[in-house]
Chain A
Amino acid sequence: MTEGYVELHTRSGFSFLEGAAVPEELAGACAQFGMPAMAIVDRNGVYGAARFHMAAKKAGIRAHIGSEITCTNGVSYPLLAETREGYQNLCRLITRMKLRAKKGEGAATPEELAEFARGLICMTRHPDERLLEAFGRGNVYAELQRHYDRREEARNQSIVERARRLGIPLVATNGVAYARPAQRELLDVFTCVRKKVTLATAGRLLERNSERHVKTPAEMARLFADLPDSPTWAMNSRATPCPRAKRR
């Protein structure tokens, strides 16, 4: 079972000021822990895809490409490209939303998400019927993350409840934002730069702990030991073919 775990929610440094590791570090950690693959899901773009693809090739793992798309309803949805068409759709979606906004801004409407949904897998902490309609049953997963946080665990419980009602499978990720625990400090500094505050005044904008690093499959299995037979692991091992990111 532990063999099957793939980290599907990783932000690299190409998510401007929201990730604290370069793709090479992430791919390296992944290979070191014996993970067969990893998905890079940068914020509103596929900026890190090319470098991650090369790094993954070198490290001998497979690279999945996705992007975390900000939606106008205030939620952001990590989308993974399952097929080549999915990758094309993702790129078109990003182009559409970026063209009408200033640099660094922009959000997709729910309608646009539905328009470009083919070939994409949506992971979400806000599962609802509209998503199910847009992406189709089997392509929407309810995402659980566990960072040793009370609030998050309470959220997880309501996500599990909602997912069960909707019949949506679960997927476990770690919402990785850095490769090693020590890089959390860098992320804290990035957060300060992004929010234009100092470390001393940032307060609760900073990370609560240093758990958003790349974890070993064994560690993840232990964290989600109460959900061993749920479809979590099925999703993680779902053969997401690698879209050829090198295509220009």
Chain B
Amino acid sequence: MGAAVLKKQFESVLGGPLEWQARPAPELVRTGIPEVDNATGGLPRGSLTEIYGPASSGRTSLMLSILAAATAREEICAVVDAEDAFDPASAAAAGVRLDRLLWVRCGHHAEHALKAADLLIQGGGFGLVAMDLGDTPPATARRISLTSWFRLRRAVENTPTVLLAVARQPNAKTCASLMLECARQRALFRGQFGGFVACPRIMRGVRVQVARRKPGRAITAEFHARALE
């Protein structure tokens, strides 16, 4: 009896044709920013998500919010920090529980960051591994071969880990399942007090636009990142 016949019989018993090759859709986790969640649905587990944009475009704010949401779910998270740029005070203010956070300081070595991220994923058990290449010069980031990204993607596949990469520009190309581009709309530098008095000299925050570049059609969302006062 051929496989096709068997399949037919199965389908007749179960009622309706079956998608035999289809994988279950990956579980999506919240980013902690309702606007972004509504637009993108969340970040897929077991896949690579890329967040990119120029400096001061709100990438790190988005990353910290994702970390805060993950640590609030009691997950263990890791930040692989290529340029030693992570600010624990910002993270704490954003609600990240530092005791559930592993910080790997790679000291300006992007290749160390790749290795460390690989080891962390292989080790398993992390809810989120964020690889921060945010200040890595684009030339250096581009030198990371597609094979390395592919390797990371394969490593994270079928695990419950969300792999996040933050960079200046998209690097992982086809290896990323979700790509979010950040852009700064404007920086708010003063209170909005009409003509009564001007209260200058305080940075109040940044308005960030997040655009989903992949998968599907582009969807944008906006959120406000408040400055630490």
Q: Do chains A and B touch in the complex (CB under 8 A)?
A: yes
Chain A residues in contact with chain B, CB under 8 A?
Answer: 150-151, 153-154, 156-157, 160-161, 164, 170, 226-227, 230
Minimum CB distance partner of B194 in chain A: A164
19 interchain pairs, CB-CB under 8 A: A150-B228, A150-B229, A151-B229, A153-B199, A153-B201, A154-B202, A154-B204, A154-B229, A156-B199, A157-B202, A160-B191, A160-B196, A160-B197, A161-B193, A170-B197, A226-B197, A226-B199, A226-B200, A227-B197
What does DSSP make chain A's interface, helix, strand, loop or mixed?
Answer: helix
Q: Is B198 an interface residue (CB 8 A)?
A: yes
Q: Which residues of chain B have C-beta atoms less than 8 A from A151's C-beta?
A: 229
Chain B residues in contact with chain A, CB under 8 A?
Answer: 191, 193, 196-202, 204, 228-229
How distant is the Cα of A157 from the Cα of B197 in the complex, in angstroms? 10
Minimum CB distance partner of A146 in chain B: B201
Instruction: Give the contacting residue for A164; candidates B196, B198, B204; CB below 8 A.
Output: B196
Q: Which residues of chain B have C-beta atoms less than 8 A from A157's C-beta?
A: 191, 193, 199, 202
Evaluate contact between A164 and B193: CB separation under 8 angstroms: yes
Within the complex, the shortest CB–CB distance from A90 to chain B, in Å, comes to: 31
How distant is the Cα of A218 from the Cα of B200 in the complex, in angstroms? 20
Minimum CB distance partner of B202 in chain A: A153
Closest 10 A/B residue pairs (Cβ): A154-B229, A157-B191, A157-B199, A153-B202, A151-B229, A164-B196, A226-B198, A227-B197, A150-B229, A160-B199
Within the complex, the shortest CB–CB distance from A77 to chain B, in Å, comes to: 23
Minimum CB distance partner of A229 in chain B: B197
Q: Which residues of chain A have C-beta atoms less than 8 A from B204's C-beta?
A: 154
How distant is the Cα of A151 from the Cα of B199 in the complex, in angstroms? 13
Q: Which residues of chain B have C-beta atoms less than 8 A from A227's C-beta?
A: 197
How distant is the Cα of A170 from the Cα of B202 in the complex, in angstroms? 19
Within the complex, the shortest CB–CB distance from A224 to chain B, in Å, comes to: 10
How distant is the Cα of A230 from the Cα of B196 in the complex, in angstroms? 9
How distant is the Cα of A218 from the Cα of B206 in the complex, in angstroms? 34
Q: Which residues of chain A have C-beta atoms less than 8 A from B229's C-beta?
A: 150-151, 154
Highest count of chain B CB atoms <10 Å: which of A154, A164, A227: A154
Highest count of chain A CB atoms <10 Å: which of B191, B199, B202, B204: B199
How distant is the Cα of A160 from the Cα of B193 in the complex, in angstroms? 9
Q: Which residues of chain B have C-beta atoms less than 8 A from A226's C-beta?
A: 197-200
Q: Which residues of chain B have C-beta atoms less than 8 A from A164's C-beta?
A: 193, 196-197
How distant is the Cα of A153 from the Cα of B227 in the complex, in angstroms? 13
Evaluate contact between A230 and B202: CB separation under 8 angstroms: no
Within the complex, the shortest CB–CB distance from A220 to chain B, in Å, comes to: 16
Within the complex, the shortest CB–CB distance from B88 to chain A, in Å, comes to: 15
Q: A161 with B198: in contact, given A150-B228, A151-B229 (CB under 8 Å)?
A: no
Minimum CB distance partner of A150 in chain B: B229
How distant is the Cα of A160 from the Cα of B202 in the complex, in angstroms? 14
Q: A230 with B228: in contact, given A150-B202, A153-B202, A161-B191 (CB under 8 Å)?
A: no
Evaluate contact between B199 and A230: CB separation under 8 angstroms: no
How distant is the Cα of A72 from the Cα of B197 in the complex, in angstroms? 32
Minimum CB distance partner of B203 in chain A: A150
Within the complex, the shortest CB–CB distance from A4 to chain B, in Å, comes to: 18
Minimum CB distance partner of A230 in chain B: B197
Q: Which residues of chain B have C-beta atoms less than 8 A from A160's C-beta?
A: 191, 193, 196-197, 199
**New contact pairs (4) apart from A153-B201, A161-B191, A164-B197, CB-CB < 8 Å:** A150-B229, A157-B191, A157-B202, A160-B199
How distant is the Cα of A161 from the Cα of B196 in the complex, in angstroms? 9
Q: Which residues of chain B have C-beta atoms less than 8 A from A170's C-beta?
A: 197
Q: Which residues of chain A have C-beta atoms less than 8 A from B199's C-beta?
A: 153, 156-157, 160, 226
Q: Which residues of chain A have C-beta atoms less than 8 A from B228's C-beta?
A: 150
Within the complex, the shortest CB–CB distance from B15 to chain A, in Å, comes to: 63
How distant is the Cα of A117 from the Cα of B191 in the complex, in angstroms? 33
